[in-house]
């Protein structure tokens, strides 16, 4: 099943302070996922994997790939692995020139490599034998290549639920 939440986020917060008008929240929590989605971002789903990118990034039809206006890209795939530790070792070997290891834990592997022209991130999130593996690639100097943007994309990667949880009443 595929969900698409790539819709504008609009919510008002009333402060009750004199002439101050209502404010739009800068982030909203996505029910059932426990992640915060920043205003101006879209949450996409592919093969039980989820990820978020800015709304100006255009996904392909099955939402496995998204491209920014400047050519930056993100792609995701669902992997079945027999051993998370073996998968991590294999990816660390493939990313032997990783400049930064952001995370190497029981749940996530996040590697960064920079070849001078492009910065590449491999971010994989495991849930037992299922792994959502994402590749984020940006030009050095790209307006998207900021710590905030990269962290938001990385933190949004994970498995989507089999079924959407019922709303609390």
Which CATH code is given to the segment(s) 27-159?
A: 3.40.1000.10
pLDDT of residue 110: 97
Name the one residue in this structure whose structure tokens are 């929590």.
29
- DSSP single-letter state for residue 151: H
Q: How many CA atoms lie within 13 A of 107 on its CB side?
A: 5
- Cα separation, 53 vs 36, in Å, equals 12
Question: Does the pTM of the predicted model rise above 0.85?
Answer: no
CA distance 146 to 44: 21
pLDDT of residue 30: 78
Give residue 21's pLDDT.
54
pLDDT in tens, the chain (169 residues): 444 444 333 222 333 444 455 566 688 877 777 788 888 999 999 999 999 999 999 999 999 999 999 999 999 999 999 999 999 999 999 888 778 999 999 999 999 998 888 999 999 999 989 999 999 999 888 888 889 999 999 999 999 887 765 555 4
Q: How far apart are CA 79 and CA 86, in angstroms?
A: 13
| pLDDT at residue number 164 | 65
In contact, 48 and 130? CB cutoff 8 Å: yes
> Domain extents for the chain?
27-159
20: left (phi over 0), alpha (psi -120 to 50) or beta: beta
Comparing CA positions, the residue from 28, 29, 26, 24 lying closest to residue 14 is 24
pLDDT for the residue 101: 92
């Amino acid at each position: 099943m595929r969900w698409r939440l790539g819709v504008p986020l609009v919510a008002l917060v009333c402060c009750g302070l004199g002439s101050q008008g209502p404010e739009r929240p800068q982030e909203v929590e996505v029910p059932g996922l426990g992640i915060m989605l920043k205003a101006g971002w879209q949450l996409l789903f592919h093969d039980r994997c989820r990820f978020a990118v800015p709304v100006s990034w255009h996904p392909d039809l099955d939402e496995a790939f998204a491209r920014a206006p400047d050519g930056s890209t993100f792609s995701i795939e669902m992997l079945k692995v027999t051993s998370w530790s073996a998968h991590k070792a294999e990816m660390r070997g493939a990313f032997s020139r990783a400049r930064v290891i952001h995370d190497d834990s029981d749940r996530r592997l996040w590697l960064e490599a920079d070849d001078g022209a492009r910065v590449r991130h491999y971010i994989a999130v495991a849930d037992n034998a299922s792994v959502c593996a994402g590749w984020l690639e940006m030009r050095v100097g790209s307006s998207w290549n900021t710590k905030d943007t990269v962290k938001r994309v990385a933190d949004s990667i994970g498995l989507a639920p089999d079924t959407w949880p019922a709303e609390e009443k």
